[in-house]
């Protein structure tokens, strides 16, 4: 089994880290630069930075914060929010990001995935998907989870892979912020369809949830936010626990 990853996520609004439940009722969670530095010291495997209102506010990602975070960490760093062109992605990579996450723009213009993979390599392209169960179908949502689309999640992940995505960041809107566990059924279905890594997002609240994400959901990485921001679970402690359960982890 390949080494699994634990990834804290910084959801950014107005320059501050925020966190809500089911994408609603956002509350302040601290300074993104200070949090990033703490997570890098606490053995986080990677960091994800999402400017969650950039798309709905019709603006680009806050590059100055990306630069500040990049100076503080020595782990892989994925940045998304408001990215709609090769120029946008290039600016973020120049600012210190190693990977670029695209969501709404990829749904609107799927060819952007092809273009970014060609320009930067698939390893730099993360397709982020906000998925919500509607009836009996998992449906892709855009604009920070505000707007449902006609795209079915299972079909979209396969198209994203075929177009050159190197990784899928799959957020269950139904589980987001609930701390009740990850969407393991959905993650397992997605994993059976594609051959690129899946980052499970939405619902992590206890150490057992991360065990389940890897052992039941078959995810390659697990992402969480508030439990790390508010020191409910330490990343190093979590990784030691998972390692003790036979899940391969980087511990130094």
- Residues marked as catalytic: 11, 130
H or E segment at 34? helix 32-41
Other residues' Cβ atoms within 10 Å of the Cβ of residue 218: 16
CA distance 14 to 112: 27
CA distance 196 to 48: 18
CA 207 to chain CA centroid, nearest Å: 19
Residue 100 structure tokens = 């670029």
For residue 126, give every residue at least 6 positions away whose Cβ sits within 8 Å of its Cβ, in sequence order, or none. Answer: 78, 80, 99, 100, 101, 102, 165, 166, 167, 168, 169, 199
Q: At what angle do helices 184-193 and 207-215 cross, to 10 degrees?
A: 30
Q: Output the CA torsion 233→172→210→80 (10° steps).
A: -70
Residue 39 structure tokens = 């997570």
Nearest to 127 by CA among 157, 148, 97: 157
């Amino acid at each position: 089994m390949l080494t699994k990853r634990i990834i804290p996520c910084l959801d950014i609004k107005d320059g501050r880290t925020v966190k809500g439940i089911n994408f609603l009722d956002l509350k302040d969670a601290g300074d993104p630069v200070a949090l990033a530095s703490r997570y890098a010291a606490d053995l986080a495997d990677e960091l994800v930075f999402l400017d969650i209102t950039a798309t709905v506010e019709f603006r680009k990602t806050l590059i100055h914060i990306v630069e500040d975070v990049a100076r503080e960490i020595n782990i892989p760093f994925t940045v998304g929010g408001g990215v709609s062109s090769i120029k946008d992605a290039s600016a973020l990579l120049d600012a210190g990001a190693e990977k670029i996450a695209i969501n709404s723009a990829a749904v609107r213009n799927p060819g952007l995935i092809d273009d970014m993979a060609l320009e930067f390599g698939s390893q730099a392209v993360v397709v982020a998907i906000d998925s919500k169960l509607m009836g009996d179908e998992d449906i892709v949502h855009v604009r920070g989870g505000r707007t449902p689309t006609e795209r079915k999640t299972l079909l979209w992940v396969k198209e994203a892979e075929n177009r050159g995505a190197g990784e899928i960041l799959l957020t269950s809107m139904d589980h987001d912020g609930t701390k009740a566990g990850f969407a393991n059924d959905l993650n397992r279905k997605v994993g059976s369809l594609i051959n690129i890594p899946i980052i499970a997002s939405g619902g992590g609240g206890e150490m057992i949830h991360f065990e389940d994400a890897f052992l039941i959901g078959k995810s390659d990485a697990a992402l969480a936010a508030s439990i790390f921001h508010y020191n409910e679970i330490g990343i190093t402690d979590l990784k030691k626990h998972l390692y003790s359960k036979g899940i391969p982890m980087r511990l130094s």
